[in-house]
Structure 1
Amino acid sequence: MSAEANARALGLIEAAEPVLTGVTTAREALQLDDLELGHAGPPFETPDAIPRLVLNALAGAAVHEGWTNSVESARQKILDGAIRLHSNHDLGTVSPMAGVVRPSQKLMRVENRAGAGVVYATLAESGRRALRFGVYDEASAAGLRWVDDVLAEALAAALPAEGLPVFPLVADGVALGDDVHQRNIGGMMAFIRALPALDDPCRAWLFANPQHFLNYAMAAAKLALDRADGVPGSSIVTAISRNGVHCGIRVAGTGKRWFTAKAVLPVGGFFAPFTIDDAQADLGDSAIVEAYGLGGAIAHASPEIARTMGRDWDEATDAGRVMRQLYIGKNPVIAPALCGEPGVGLGLDARRVVEAGQPVRIHTGIGHKDGQSGWIGVGVAEAPLACFSAAVQALGEGS
């Protein structure tokens, strides 16, 4: 039953064709109302559990929406429950790091050209001191306004009338050495090339901020993986996400249920003078790309990101090949030379993860736990084995 169910889930994932089709607001797209915010990862058990980085990002979003005039009062409204919080995955979107989504925020619509399914991508702002890392000040607020008022409108106007397919851009990026999690230079080049009508200031900004492309890849991965949601008996992973306290996964056979374990500390390359002692436990919706088969799962195809993270190349190549064994299929579109005949995996199988005793490798950004210092490094984290063990047990129990 499991093999048949997984083959069905894999077929649904493989058939998806995510296409960027336009820009809207979170209020319209996600029915996100006043005094409601989205965040990365599974839901928090209580407001008191929210880490400082995420709390500051949520508070900054509340101020930006005009619900209060200070970050301090916004924090209190969140802790008191006056501002309602939702997991992004439940809303129909994904966003990196703190992952905060606010009602007036501009989102990119991502449609499945091959059938049903729509998700929404957030538009990442620039710099190390950004809202997704917990920073809200005059500079980050100005950056948010520019993304919403200038970049989003320019992108909407430049999109082809038939939409812009995402996975071919991802494939181009991977061929140029992207892992599509912490390195997106090739993908951004392909994205800009596909939008010849885009004005020069916006093109220059995108070239300077290649990680902006990650958000489109994340949404495309979610759209594809969501196609398998609810396939009875399937152990294919449909989401991996972290909120700075817990890492959670979902599998096709149990639908929207989260299976969680304590989030780990990322290790890797820190920007001076920061060290692992400053690091926030792993967070963000961005591990959806690992669930799809990219990021840490293709560590052996991205030499430059290994250098950036301070990882030995032999370690990275070995780790990537180990990760490949956890996927039941082969991606038909993305095929970098360094992956060889096995190609890029598709269909992460929770049962294989448990049988191998192998946590899933995640390439991740690292934020400062103080929620003020911003982005402090790039490293490797893991989706803990306990998440997958719990999911497999639930499948066995039929729940």
Structure 2
Amino acid sequence: MSADPHSDDRTSANAEALRRILATEPVLAGIATAGEAMGLAEGELGHAGAPFSGPDEIPHLVLNALAGAAVHEGWAGTVAEARAQIRDGRIRLRCNHDLGTVSPMAGVVRPSQRVMRVENRAGPGVTFATLAESGRRALRFGVYDAAAAEGLAQIDDVVAPALERALPGAGLAVLPLVADGVAQGDDVHQRNVGGMAAFIRALPDLDPAVRSWLFSNPQHFLNYAMAAAKLCLDQAEGVAGSSLVTALTRNGATCAIRVAGTGRRWFSAPATVPVGGFFPPYALADAQGDLGDSAIVEAYGLGGAIAHAAPEIAQTMGRDWSEAAEDGRTMRALYIGRHPLIAPALCGIEGVGAGLDAARVVAGGRPLRIHTGIGHRDGASGWIGVGVARAPLACFAQALSALGETV
């Protein structure tokens, strides 16, 4: 007899959730504004992570990014005025996952910005990818100045239209590009060189100037991979009794997850501070608490979950290769299945995991590895490093407890 009376039911539920995840075929299908695509209204902004408990919980980095977005939309004349509007609720905040999108770091989404539609070629489901701007001093890292504003305008007015013109009529499948990148050493979180090259090869009619811009900004590819991962994981939402993780995100104050069997309920714990490689002159004391929707790729089975297949990013993060390899192989055991398409040589016969199981995380007793960018906690200095954060065990334990009450 099983020690857990729900284990057989959970096994069946997890198998069904994983079937839905792996049956999804994300395709880049066109460009729209966030307002049109997601119903984001004037005076509303999206942000990364679970909802904040109140304005005092919003880190400086995120508050400055939100305020910069409000100024860019024309809702305030200065960043200071916009911060006041956010604090007193005149500007409404919504979490990206509930809008149908995911975005890195502060993850701010504003109504007029251009986003990429990501459709499920194999069935229902749509998500939207934000288009990442370039540079270390960018809005997603809390910086809004003349250069950041120019970068946002370039994305909306130059990059987005060029991408829309270059997309094939039937759309562009994302997962083959991800598989190509992983085979070339990408973790598909902090290294996206191979994925970006595959993306550009797939768009032969792309404007040469935009092609050059993309080659110099490979992290732009991350946003498409994130939205594809969300689309796949969303298909498992609502599978009763399933303990598979469908969302993993951080807002700078908390780290939070969702699992299939409890729908859109968040389970959260304090965010950790990333450690890793810092750009001089910055150091650990400058680091913002872990931040961004980008950990959706770890929930899908990439990023820190394939640390043992991405030696170059370990070096960039200043982490010992033996640590990265051990963490990656340890994380592989937390997934109930094997991805049928993504198969880097360094992962060996076990391949890349699919179906992150909250029950396995709790049983393993080790916080989950997340590869992440590091922003300065002052909300003004921008991107200061690349490192490793940890998703607290408490998030997964809470979810498992809730499942025990509802199975």
After TM superposition, the score normalised by the length of structure 1 is 1.00
Give the corresponding residue for 1:11.
19
Q: Partners of 1:360 and 1:165 in 2: how far apart?
A: 29
AA in 2 matched with 1:182: Q
Secondary structure of 1:341's counterpart equals: helix
Give the corresponding residue for 1:287.
295
Q: Measure how far apart 1:302 and its partner are.
A: 0.3
Q: Does 2:114 align with 1:106? A: yes
Give the corresponding residue for 1:86.
94
Q: Partners of 2:25 and 2:229 in 1: how far apart?
A: 10
Q: Measure how far apart 1:152 and its partner are.
A: 0.1
AA in 2 matched with 1:128: R
Give the corresponding residue for 1:395.
403
Q: Measure how far apart 1:204 and its partner are.
A: 0.4
Q: Does 2:267 align with 1:259? A: yes
Q: Partners of 2:395 and 2:116 in 1: how far apart?
A: 30
Secondary structure of 1:188's counterpart equals: helix
**Pick from 141, 155, 158: which aligns with 1:147?**
155
CA RMSD of aligned residues (A): 0.5
Q: Measure how far apart 1:101 and its partner are.
A: 0.1
Q: Partners of 1:23 and 1:307 in 2: how far apart?
A: 36
Q: Partners of 1:356 and 1:243 in 2: how far apart?
A: 25
Give the corresponding residue for 1:31.
39
Q: Partners of 2:360 and 2:21 in 1: how far apart?
A: 18
Q: Measure how far apart 1:358 and its partner are.
A: 1.7
Secondary structure of 2:36's counterpart equals: helix
Give the corresponding residue for 1:65.
73
Secondary structure of 1:42's counterpart equals: coil
Q: Deviations over 1:330-364 (max 9, x none)?
A: 00010000000000000000000001102110000
Q: Does 2:180 align with 1:172? A: yes
**Pick from 317, 325, 334: which aligns with 1:326?**
334
Q: Measure how far apart 1:94 and its partner are.
A: 0.2
Q: Partners of 1:139 and 1:382 in 2: how far apart?
A: 33
Q: Measure how far apart 1:91 and its partner are.
A: 0.4
Give the corresponding residue for 1:365.
373
Secondary structure of 1:250's counterpart equals: strand
Secondary structure of 2:369's counterpart equals: strand
**Pick from 167, 181, 191: which aligns with 1:183?**
191
Q: Measure how far apart 1:49 and its partner are.
A: 1.0
Q: Deviations over 1:150-172 (max 9, x none)?
A: 00000000000000000000000
Identity %: 72
AA in 2 matched with 1:322: T
Alignment of 1:197-236 (within 5 A): 197-236=205-244
Secondary structure of 1:249's counterpart equals: strand
Count of residues in correspondence between the two structures: 399
Q: Measure how far apart 1:250 and its partner are.
A: 0.2
**Pick from 351, 354, 376: which aligns with 1:346?**
354
- Stretches (4+) displaced over 3 A: none
Q: Partners of 1:377 and 1:170 in 2: how far apart?
A: 24
Secondary structure of 2:349's counterpart equals: coil
**Pick from 296, 299, 302: which aligns with 2:307?**
299
